[in-house]
Structure 1
Amino acid sequence: MSRNKRGKGMRFLGKVLFVLYIGFIIYFLLFSDLYGRTGVMEEYRYNLVLFKEIKRFWQYREQLGWYAMFTNLFGNVIIFMPFGFFLPMASKYRSFFAAVFYSFTLSLCVETFQLLTKVGSFDVDDLLLNTIGGVAGYIIFVICAAVRRRHVRLSTRKRR
Structure 2
Amino acid sequence: MLKKFYKIIIVPYTVFLLYLMFLGMGRFQYEDNLITVEPIFSTIQFIRSTIGWKDVIIIVLGNIIMFVPFGFLGWINPQLRNLKILLYSFISCIVIVEALQYFTRMGIFEVDDILLNTFGVYLGWLLCRFIEQKFSRLVL
Match of 1:21 among 13, 17, 21: 13
User: For residues 116 and 39 of structure 2, what CA distance do their matches in structure 1 show?
Assistant: 11
Matched, 1:80 2:67: yes
Q: Give ranges in structure 2 of 5+ residues lacking alignment.
A: none
Q: State how 1:69-148 maps to structure 2 within 5 Å.
A: 69-85=56-72, 87-92=73-78, 93-148=80-135
Match of 1:44 among 33, 43, 63: 33
Q: Counterpart of 1:44 in structure 2: which amino acid?
A: N
* Counterpart in the other structure of 1:5: none
In the TM superposition, residue 70 of structure 1 has moved relative to its aligned partner by 1.3
User: For residues 62 and 92 of structure 2, what CA distance do their matches in structure 1 show?
Assistant: 18
User: For residues 90 and 134 of structure 2, what CA distance do their matches in structure 1 show?
Assistant: 24
- Greater RCO (Cα-Cα under 8 Å, separation 6 or more): 2
- Alignment TM-score, normalising by the size of structure 2: 0.87
* Structure with the greater alpha carbon radius of gyration: 1
Q: Give ranges in structure 1 of 5+ residues lacking alignment.
A: 1-8, 153-160
Backbone CA RMSD of aligned residues:
1.8
Call closer, same or farther: CA 1:26–1:79 in 2, change over 3 Å.
same
User: For residues 140 and 17 of structure 1, what CA distance do their matches in structure 2 show?
Assistant: 17
In the TM superposition, residue 30 of structure 1 has moved relative to its aligned partner by 1.3
Q: State how 1:60-71 maps to structure 2 within 5 Å.
A: 60-61=49-50, 63=51, 65-71=52-58
In the TM superposition, residue 11 of structure 1 has moved relative to its aligned partner by 4.6
User: For residues 48 and 67 of structure 2, what CA distance do their matches in structure 1 show?
Assistant: 24
Q: Which region of structure 1 is more displaced relative to structure 2, 129-138 or 71-80?
A: 71-80
Q: Counterpart of 1:52 in structure 2: which amino acid?
A: F
